[in-house]
């Protein structure tokens, strides 16, 4: 059971990592190609700026879930560091539960956002905006899955050092 | 109720971005029209929808590629060639290597980690106490986010209106160099007796300078092209990535292509950690602005404090305290939208104020209990935080002294942007 969840966590790290890396590559390629074309041919892709921004937002959503799976988020830890290790362990599980709720809430918020504003069309790309707004819904879902996985792994005995590895 | 939720979740260690998002979600669910749960995702999405913001992941990527390319050895050789012959030579090399490193990575934590691995054992070998070497590495790494290109500077410029990235890049140069000079003077007087410098073979200095020019060209080209108005900061960041890739893949051949996916992933993950806070704060700022909270605070402060000096002293004390417990970029995102309009209202030059805020909060990187660079230095040196902090105290005083100097002599900050035509 424990090994299965650890494997699942590694799989999630792989999926989110691949998503984040590909989006980083997309952002870099579009910005560089657009700048290069502008300086050499004197014009740039009209959709270039927005496409790079949307790729960045998708990348952030993958990156947020990845950072959660690897315990990289910025947190206020002075008080928690004073706790004994066992209390800290259960506190981390509590945090996983709270972040799971935030993830679900953010996914619902993203869904409502798409429902309300997704029908419009992006002037630069010509594509419906829901395709880009979907990143918020996806981000919430990925964060929820990451928090749930981390919570279960911790319940099954994963230590802070293992989570950080 | 909402404030209690915010405070409790913050204190138990819920990541900062999720504290803000969670509190906002609870508020939006409980509140009536015009508030709606949709607003959280909408404003977070809107807060990230910015072309200049793309410079953040791209500069982080450039720094990652440069680090991976193995520039550290060349930077140290260059700094050694320039200042290694001075009294407390290796300590001087440590400080000035941080200045050069600042132009390439802009991250204090990367600086502490990368340079610390080399300097801490090397300085110990030359007779410096290990805790002193760790403290100096952490203290000099604060230069990283002040000298351009700097991520906190880009974030600051995007958080408020009226300050541009190039102006802030120019404004950060003198304070960064002053900080390095201050630390340099300190080690000259108080660390000279620790180490005995070995002399180097003739000819090695020239070789080191030439070898160091390749990494050094990147910040010069990036900053130069931005200042000349040839490229925007975002485009410059993409050119910096290309340059770093050429250095790593072609010139030094130190990065195997198979390593690139991991570098790209790490860059996006580290960017996401910063930018999700930015997205959350954007959503929170919408709520605050909708309720005119920043205006109310600004009016109250302006009615209470009418002197620039009083305000600057109050802000510096506040930020030093905040820096003790909160990460610098998070503090910028939360406090700057409130403090910046007050500073402008009191007639303080926005660029001067911006550099003061950034400098002040970056000192927080080396102040206990949550100084990230302290933890990184200790993870390399393994001498215990209290030993490092004891050695660090005089260096911290030097940094605070430099802060006071730039606070009350604004020309030190505004001189370069002014002669460059940004003010």
Confidence of residue B326 (pLDDT cuts 50, 70, 90): confident
pLDDT at B358: 95
pLDDT at A123: 86
**Average pLDDT value for residue range B305-324:** 90
DSSP bridge pairs for B376: none
Residue B49 distance to chain A (closest CA, Å)? 6
pLDDT at B199: 53
Nearest to A102 among B22, B38, B369 (CB): B22
Beta carbons of B53 and A117 less than 8 Å apart: no
Place of tokens 């010069």: B220
Structure-model confidence comparison of residues B272 and B84, the more confident one: B272
Beta carbons of B58 and A73 less than 8 Å apart: no
Best to test chain B binding among A15, A20, A101 (most B CBs inside 10 Å): A20
List, as ranges, residues 174-203 from B with C-beta within 8 Å of A: none
Structure-model confidence comparison of residues B381 and B355, the more confident one: B355
Place of tokens 């604060």: B142
At residue B113, the 3 state secondary structure works out as helix
Task: Give yes or no for A48 touching B (CB within 8 A).
Answer: no
**Average pLDDT value for residue range B295-300:** 85
**Average pLDDT value for residue range A56-78:** 92
- CA B97 to CA B141: how far, in whole Å? 9
pLDDT at B20 over 80: yes
Token pair for B377: 């230095």
Q: Which residue of B has its CA nearest to A96?
A: B14
Structure-model confidence comparison of residues A124 and B370, the more confident one: A124
At residue B256, the 3 state secondary structure works out as coil
Token pair for A101: 């709720």
Phi, psi (deg, nearest 5) at residue B198 = -85, 145
**Residue B8 near residue A83, CB atoms below 8 Å:** no
Token pair for B279: 């997205």
Give B227-241 pLDDT, tens digit per residue. 787 888 899 999 999
Tell me whether 0.90 is exceeded by the ipTM.
Answer: yes
Structure-model confidence comparison of residues A69 and B113, the more confident one: A69
With the C-alpha atoms ordered A135, A136, A140, A141, is the resulting torsion angle positive or negative? negative
Contact residues on chain B for A113, CB-CB shorter than 8 A: 38, 41-42, 45
Nearest to A110 among B41, B276, B330 (CB): B41
- CA B135 to CA B387: how far, in whole Å? 9
| Residue B161 burial by Cβ neighbours in a 10 Å radius (0-12, 13-18, 19+) | exposed
At residue A98, the 3 state secondary structure works out as helix
Give B279-293 pLDDT, tens digit per residue. 998 899 888 888 888
| Average pLDDT taken over every residue of chain B | 89
pLDDT at A131: 95
Task: Give yes or no for B55 touching A (CB within 8 A).
Answer: no
Confidence of residue B76 (pLDDT cuts 50, 70, 90): confident
Confidence of residue A24 (pLDDT cuts 50, 70, 90): very high
Of all residues in chain A, the percent with pLDDT exceeding 70 is: 96
Task: Give yes or no for B241 touching A (CB within 8 A).
Answer: yes
- CA B47 to CA B136: how far, in whole Å? 37
Structure-model confidence comparison of residues B226 and B366, the more confident one: B366
Of all residues in chain B, the percent with pLDDT exceeding 90 is: 48
Beta carbons of A79 and B13 less than 8 Å apart: yes
Calculate the CA dihedral of residues B397, B402, B403, B408 and round it to 10 degrees. Answer: 130
Residue B364 distance to chain A (closest CA, Å)? 13
Place of tokens 């299965």: A4
Q: Which residues, 6+ apart, have CB-to-CB distance to B106 below 8 Å?
A: B59, B63, B144, B145, B147, B148, B149, B150, B151
**Displacement of CA B350 from its chain's centroid (Å):** 18
**DSSP characters over B122-175:** HHHHTT--HHHHHHHHHHHHTTTTTSSS-HHHHHHHHHSSS--HHHHHHHHHHH
Residue A52 distance to chain B (closest CA, Å)? 8
Whether the bond into B369 is cis, omega within 30 of 0:
yes
Structure-model confidence comparison of residues B106 and A40, the more confident one: A40
Token pair for B1: 């109720």
The pTM of this model reads: 0.87
Structure-model confidence comparison of residues A77 and A151, the more confident one: A151
* Cα–Cα nearest to B63, from B108, B17, B125, B2: B108
Give A106-145 pLDDT, tens digit per residue. 999 999 999 998 888 988 888 999 999 999 999 999 999 9
pLDDT at B33: 83
Nearest to B265 among A21, A92, A94 (CB): A21
**Residue B152 near residue B115, CB atoms below 8 Å:** no
Beta carbons of B268 and A53 less than 8 Å apart: no
Give B176-220 pLDDT, tens digit per residue. 999 999 999 999 999 877 766 555 555 677 777 877 788 788 888
**DSSP characters over B5-71:** HHHHHHHTT--HHHHHHHHHHHHHHHS-TT--THHHHHHHHHHH--SGGGHHHHHHHHHHHHHHTTH
- CA B251 to CA B247: how far, in whole Å? 5
Place of tokens 């900050």: B413
Give B49-65 pLDDT, tens digit per residue. 999 899 999 988 998 89
Place of tokens 């990065």: B255
With the C-alpha atoms ordered B239, B243, B244, B250, is the resulting torsion angle positive or negative? positive
Confidence of residue A61 (pLDDT cuts 50, 70, 90): very high
Packing angle between helix B2-11 and helix B16-30, nearest 10 degrees?
160
pLDDT at A46 over 90: no
pLDDT at B92 over 60: yes
Phi, psi (deg, nearest 5) at residue A124 = -85, -40
DSSP bridge pairs for A121: A128
Calculate the CA dihedral of residues B177, B178, B184, B188 and round it to 10 degrees. Answer: 150
- CA A39 to CA A93: how far, in whole Å? 52
Residue B422 distance to chain A (closest CA, Å)? 23
Q: Which residues, 6+ apart, have CB-to-CB distance to B229 below 8 Å?
A: none
Beta carbons of B242 and A133 less than 8 Å apart: no
Give B388-398 pLDDT, tens digit per residue. 999 999 999 99
Residue A157 distance to chain B (closest CA, Å)? 20
- CA B18 to CA B6: how far, in whole Å? 10
At residue A121, the 3 state secondary structure works out as strand
pLDDT at B197: 59
pLDDT at B202: 58
């Amino acid at each position: 059971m424990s090994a299965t969840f650890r494997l699942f966590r590694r799989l999630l790290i792989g999926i989110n990592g691949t998503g984040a890396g590909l989006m980083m590559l997309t952002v870099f390629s579009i910005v560089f190609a657009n700048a290069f074309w502008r300086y050499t041919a004197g014009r740039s892709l009209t959709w270039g700026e927005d496409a790079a921004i949307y790729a960045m937002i998708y990348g952030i959503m993958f990156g947020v879930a990845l950072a959660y799976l690897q315990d990289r988020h910025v947190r206020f830890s002075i008080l928690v560091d004073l706790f004994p290790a066992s209390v800290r362990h259960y506190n981390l599980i509590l945090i996983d539960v709270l972040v799971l709720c935030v993830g679900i809430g953010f996914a619902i918020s993203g869904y409502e956002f798409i429902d309300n504003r997704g029908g419009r069309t992006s002037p630069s790309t010509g594509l419906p905006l829901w395709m880009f707004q979907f990143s918020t819904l996806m981000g919430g879902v990925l964060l929820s899955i990451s928090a749930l996985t981390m919570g279960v792994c911790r319940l099954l005995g994963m230590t802070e050092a293992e989570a950080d590895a | 109720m909402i404030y209690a939720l915010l405070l409790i979740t913050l204190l138990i260690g819920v990541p900062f971005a999720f504290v803000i998002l969670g509190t906002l979600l609870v508020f939006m669910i409980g509140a009536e029209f015009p508030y709606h749960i949709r607003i959280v995702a909408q404003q977070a999405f809107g807060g990230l929808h910015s072309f200049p913001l793309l410079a953040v992941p791209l500069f982080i990527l450039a720094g990652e590629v440069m680090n991976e390319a193995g520039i550290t050895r060349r930077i140290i050789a260059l700094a050694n060639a320039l200042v290694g012959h001075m009294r407390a030579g290796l300590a001087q090399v440590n400080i000035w290597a941080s200045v050069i490193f600042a132009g390439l990575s802009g991250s204090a934590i990367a600086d502490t980690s990368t340079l610390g691995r080399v300097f801490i054992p090397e300085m110990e070998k030359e007779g410096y106490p290990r805790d002193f070497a760790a403290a100096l590495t952490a203290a000099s790494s604060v230069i990283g986010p002040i000298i351009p290109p700097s991520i906190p500077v880009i974030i600051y410029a995007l958080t408020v209106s009226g300050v541009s990235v190039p102006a802030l890049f120019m404004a950060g140069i003198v304070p960064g160099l002053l900080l390095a000079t201050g630390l340099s003077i300190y080690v000259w007087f108080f660390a000279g007796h620790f180490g005995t410098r070995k002399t180097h073979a003739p000819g090695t200095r020239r070789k080191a300078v030439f070898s160091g020019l390749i990494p050094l060209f990147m910040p010069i080209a990036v900053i130069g092209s931005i200042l000349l108005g040839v490229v925007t900061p975002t485009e410059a960041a993409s050119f910096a990535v290309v340059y770093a890739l050429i250095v790593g893949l072609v010139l030094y051949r130190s990065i195997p292509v198979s390593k690139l996916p991991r570098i790209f992933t790490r860059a996006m993950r580290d960017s996401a950690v910063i930018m999700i806070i930015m997205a959350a704060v954007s959503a929170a700022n919408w709520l605050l602005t909708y309720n005119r909270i920043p205006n109310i605070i600004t009016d109250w402060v302006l009615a209470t404090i009418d002197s620039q000096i009083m305000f600057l002293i109050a802000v510096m004390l506040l930020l030093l305290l905040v820096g003790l417990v909160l990460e610098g970029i998070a503090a910028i995102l939360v406090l700057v939208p409130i403090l910046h309009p007050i500073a402008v209202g009191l007639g303080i030059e926005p660029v001067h104020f911006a550099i003061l805020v950034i400098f002040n909060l970056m000192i927080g990187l080396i102040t206990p209990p949550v100084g990230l660079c302290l933890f990184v230095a200790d993870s390399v040196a393994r001498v215990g935080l209290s030993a490092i902090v004891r050695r660090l105290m005089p260096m911290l005083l030097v940094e605070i002294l430099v802060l006071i100097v730039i606070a009350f002599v604004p020309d030190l900050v505004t001189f370069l942007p002014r002669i460059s035509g940004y003010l």
